[in-house]
Structure 1
Amino acid sequence: MSVLLEFAMFPTSDNCREGSSVSKQVAKIIDAIDKSGVTYKLTPMGTIVETQTMREALDVIELAYEQVKDCERVYSSLKFDIRHNSDDRLTTKIKSVETHLDRDVKK
């Protein structure tokens, strides 16, 4: 099974922000995910992880929250794509779309 989880998590309270920036807190989350060994991809709007079970995906969310739990208020949004009999979808889904693109056409 492949569980793709796209999520964003960051503090909204003043006690954990530097002005309007939350990058320092987000970096703590990414560092923890990186050290966990979970396959992930950081994007400008969130992070995508791929796990083999829903429990592992939820463990990533708990790990992320542990990094910002001292913040008064934390915002998070989550999206899941769960598929049986599949793996490595973090890269294969992109490759599948790219096979349908006409790379010779400039837009």
Structure 2
Amino acid sequence: MMVQLSIMPISEDKHLSKPIAKAVKIIHESGLEYKLTPMGTLIKGEWQEVMNVAKKCHEAVREDFDRVTTQIKIDDLKSGDISFDDKIRAVEEKAEMEFKK
């Protein structure tokens, strides 16, 4: 399963990299495969382990803010595993071009 996790503290502070770094550190320490992007973090793993990590991240950021929004997008491929790069390559093949990385 592949998940895109995006946690956003609601705050007047425009610099939110510190709470995001706190969440990404939790993901890193989980040992799950992940990829940090500008709009969220992609995480690969089994349902329970990914959801446990998402919960820990949300709770860790929530400790420092009155309000936090968390978005989770799930790509659950029944027929097998697919890598982050495989998903991109599949679109590039259909477009018959390589995209900027």
TM superposition score category, shorter chain reference: 0.7 to 0.9
Partner in structure 1 of residue 4 of structure 2:
6
Partner in structure 2 of residue 64 of structure 1:
57
Find the residue that maps to 1:20 and give its secondary structure.
Answer: coil
Distance (whole Å) between structure 1 residues aligned to residue 74 and residue 31 of structure 2: 19
Aligned length: 97
State the AA in 2 paired with 1:39: E
Q: Max radius of gyration: which structure?
A: 1
Q: CA RMSD in A?
A: 1.8
Question: Structure 2-normalised TM-score?
Answer: 0.82
Structure 1 runs not aligned, ≥5 long = none
- Would you say 1:102 and 2:96 are equivalent positions? yes
State the AA in 2 paired with 1:61: A
Higher RCO (CA-CA < 8 Å; seq separation 6+): 1
Note the C-alpha offset of 1:61.
Answer: 0.8
* Matching residue within 45, 48, 59 for 2:39: 45
Structure 2 runs not aligned, ≥5 long = none
Q: Which runs of at least 4 in structure 1 moved beyond 6 Å after TM superposition?
A: none
- Would you say 1:90 and 2:88 are equivalent positions? no
Question: Structure 1-normalised TM-score?
Answer: 0.78
State the AA in 1 paired with 2:5: F
